[in-house]
Amino acid sequence: MISYPNAKINIGLDVLGKRDDGYHNISSIFYPVMSLTDILEIKKSNDFIFTSSGKKIDNNNICVKAFNLFKKEFDISNVNIHLHKRIPICAGLGGGSSDASFTLKMLNDLFNLNLTNEQLKFYALMIGADCPFFIENKPMLVEGVGEKLKNIKLNLDAYDIKVYSSDIKVSTVEAYSLLKSFKNSNLGHNIKKPINTWQENIFNNFEEPIFQLYPKLKEKKRKIIEDGALYCSMTGTGSSIYAIFKK
């Protein structure tokens, strides 16, 4: 069984405040990017095996964490997992979360567990805050720590979405430690405005501190906008930048 875990971009990312449990409440539009994927193969096996190719990753990968969760919860046999990693790592594109969620979905199908999407999202949240989104894998307004998903009408098929990767790796912990204030830009309202107004209305709270730390990212964004992007932003906690162009 083979699948193609895709990346996502954040259209706006408001960090609303820190919770008592140490996590942060956010508001963001998650949008799937089907043109950028990993390749994930899972098949039944006598022994558990995990291998990878492509971009270098830890053998204690999040796919392994996903399998171990289902192995503990359900009566399933061992599997052979191979992950070909193409989505940039520590880049704000959700590659690891996507891999984990696709692993859960594939195990659900492979072993006929018949779990609903709501049940899959429950388990996905145990693995990571961004994971539930990839169970639905469609444009969503994401709130809470990532567990509150609301359907939104947003279709960007008429536009080109380009992702610009960097060799800069930004950890989520580092990014949150740099935040000096919290903002709410009323994202659910502003996303309904024309795309050519998004640059003045939709923001990623992490851009300012990350750009201060890595000025070449700020310069990259400036050049992309000069090249005619309708909207350009850093995604997630960085360091990848994406842009929306007219086709």
Query: Is residue 247 within 8 Å of 214, Cβ to Cβ?
Result: no
Query: Is residue 115 within 8 Å of 133, Cβ to Cβ?
Result: no
Query: Is residue 191 within 8 Å of 156, Cβ to Cβ?
Result: no
Crossing angle of helices 95-110 and 62-73, rounded to 10°: 30
Collapsing DSSP to helix, strand or coil, 88 comes out as coil
8 carries an active-site annotation: yes
21 carries an active-site annotation: no
Tell me the one-letter amino acid at 244: I
Q: Which of 38, 105, 130, 221 is catalytic?
A: 130
Query: Is residue 101 within 8 Å of 69, Cβ to Cβ?
Result: no
Residue 169 zone, left/alpha/beta (φ > 0; ψ -120 to 50; rest): beta
Active site residues: 8, 130
